[in-house]
Copies of this chain bind each other. A is one copy, B any other.
Amino acid sequence: MLHFSGSLTRLVGELKKLPGVGEKSALRLAFHLLKYPGNIEALAESLMQVKEKVRFCSLCFAITEDDPCWICSGERDGATLCVVEEPQDLLALERSRAFRGRYHVLQGALSPLNGVTPRDLRIAELMQRLEGGEVREVLIATNFTVEGEATALYLTRMIKPLGIKVTRLAHGIPIGSDLEYVDAATVQRAVEGRSEL
């Protein structure tokens, strides 16, 4: 490899840093790119554009090109605030079209084992936004993982004393699932949360 091209070796090294890309996949991607020089240039350019233009919204910490972002500057329900871990979680909620309030992106979840403490997340900024008094309900939409649940618990304890309603996304059977294959804990939550028809 080295003998062939130092720049190709470097590209393989950079590609290997991507999640889910090992030595073999990186080589495969590099050789694929070599076949399409037009794509190489387009990819390089779009990378530089992203680096130059994309930033975090100074209010909600979602990714944006304009600050504040289109949600913070748009006409959304300011009384409900949805807290998510990452910008991609915000995207998932927006795709559902079920939430019309504003967002706050924590940029992670509490994980003492990995050294992620409240100070590493955008929690101070969240509390500052809540002090404004406009928000009446905080919908905590962190992931249903150990870290996400711990973060939800932590935030609930911080926010409830302010007299703000704290809610959490519902647990239940995913749309289109076969009951047979749904795990017991999920079925249990679905029964507990059953609704009248």
Nearest chain B CB to A18 CB, angstrom units: 6
Q: Which residues of B contact A39 (CB under 8 A)?
A: 14, 17
Chain A 25-66 per-residue mask, 1 if CB under 8 angstroms from chain B, else 0: 101111111101101111111111111111000000011110
User: Does A112 belong to the interface (CB within 8 Å)?
Assistant: no
9 contacts between A and B (CB under 8 A): A5-B64, A7-B65, A11-B47, A18-B29, A18-B32, A19-B28, A19-B32, A41-B51, A43-B44
Number of copies: 2
User: Does A97 belong to the interface (CB within 8 Å)?
Assistant: no
Residues in A lying within 8 Å of B, measured CB to CB: 1, 3-8, 10-11, 13-15, 17-20, 25, 27-34, 36-37, 39-54, 62-65, 69-71, 86-88, 91
Q: Are A29 and B19 in contact (CB under 8 A)?
A: yes
Q: Which residues of B contact A37 (CB under 8 A)?
A: 51
| A11 and B41 in contact, given A19-B29, A20-B25, A65-B6 (Cβ under 8 angstroms) | no
